[in-house]
Each structure stands twice: as structure tokens, then as C-alpha cells.
């Protein structure tokens, strides 16, 4: 599995990724109703967000996610 940007989150990420893969295989076949991985994802997210904040990446990430749709509109307007 791909490594996390936060080495301390690698273990929980690996558990979550493994859970997601199993879920995703079912989801692709139309059986994705369960939320088996929610708890692992929330633990992984908590670990990750703490690290992103410490590294100061969180605000850059927020901006990028926000501007994602805006820049699209802008591109279309200008071209």
C-alpha cells in the first residue's frame, strides 16, 4: 500500500486501505451499502489531519479544494 505523508499514520492507513479494498470490490458489484470501514477511516483521518496541521498543509489543502471548481469556471471564461 502507498505510504502516508505522516509516517505515524502508516499503520492505521494500511488497515483502512485494506478494509476499503474489500468494501470497494463489493461496491463495484452493487453491494456497497455497509459502512464497515467508517471507524477505521475516522481514526486514520484524525491521525492524518493532526499531521497535516502540524506541517501547515491543511490550509493549502482547503484553498486547493475550494479553488478547484472556481478555476474551472475561470478557465472556461478566459479561453
Partner 1 sequence: MKFFENKFTYDYSFPAVSLAYFLRYPNPYSRHVLTTDVIDRYVDPTTQRLHTTRLHLKKSKVPSGILKLLPKGMGGSDNSGQSYILETTIVDPKEGWMETESRNMEWTGILSVVEKQRYQRVHSDDEVRALDGLSMEHKEKTTVRTTVTFKSRLGQGKLLGWKKADHDGDDDAPKKGFFSSLSTAGIQRTIELIGVSRTRDAVLKSKDGMNVVLERLRSGGIVGVLEGMRRDREALGLDVHLKRM
CA angle 30, 31, 32 (to 5 degrees): 105
Which one, of 17, 38, 44, 12, lies nearest residue 25 by Cα?
17
Per-residue x/- mask for partner 1, residues 37 to 76, rule CB under 8 A?
Answer: ----x--x---x------x-x--xx--xx--x--xx--x-
C-alpha cell at 21: 479494498
Residue closer to partner 1 (CB basis): 11 or 24: 24
Q: Count the neighbouring beta carbons within 10 Å of the beta carbon of residue 60.
A: 11
The footprint of partner 1 (CB under 8 A) covers 1-7, 9, 13, 16, 20-21, 24-25, 27-30, 32, 41, 44, 48, 55, 57, 60-61, 64-65, 68, 71-72, 75, 78-79
Amino acid at each position: 500500500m502507498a505510504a502516508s505523508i505522516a509516517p505515524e499514520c502508516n499503520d492505521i492507513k494500511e488497515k483502512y486501505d485494506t478494509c476499503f479494498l474489500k468494501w470497494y470490490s463489493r461496491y463495484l458489484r452493487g453491494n456497497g451499502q455497509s459502512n464497515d470501514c467508517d471507524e477505521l477511516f475516522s481514526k486514520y483521518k484524525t491521525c492524518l489531519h493532526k499531521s497535516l496541521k502540524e506541517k501547515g498543509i491543511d490550509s493549502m489543502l482547503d484553498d486547493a479544494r475550494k479553488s478547484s471548481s472556481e478555476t474551472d469556471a475561470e478557465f472556461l471564461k478566459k479561453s
